[in-house]
Amino acid sequence: MEPSATVLHTRVGPAREGESFTTRNGIHTTVLPKCDTNDGFWYCVAHKEAFRNQLEKDIHIHRGRHRLAWFCHTHGAEVP
């Protein structure tokens, strides 16, 4: 039985510079420092999920534990 009092264990942390991970497409990538451009999308390292916009990202991180990276169109994964 589910307990009626819902306790949300939400925890969202940023990806760290220099850490590497493999995307769902099997691409091995290393997290770079954030650059000056704003052209890219949010990516959850923990669940290998990319988000098309802020809203999708916010819904995804609403509950649970996540690690977010910024996926720059020019350079790849960056610190958010």
In the block, residue with structure tokens 């977010």:
68
Report the residue number, 7 or 80, with the smaller CB distance to Zn ion: 80
The interface with Zn ion within residues 15-54 (CB under 5 A) comprises 35, 44, 46-47
Q: Which of 15, 31, 69, 72 binds Zn ion (CB under 5 A)?
A: 72
Q: Residue 33 region, left (φ>0) first, then alpha (ψ -120 to 50), else beta? A: beta
Report the residue number, 47 or 56, with the smaller CB distance to Zn ion: 47
From the number of C-beta atoms within 10 Å of its C-beta (0-12, 13-18, 19+), residue 38 rates as exposed
Q: Where do contacts with Zn ion occur on this chain (CB under 5 A)?
A: 35, 44, 46-47, 66, 72, 74-75
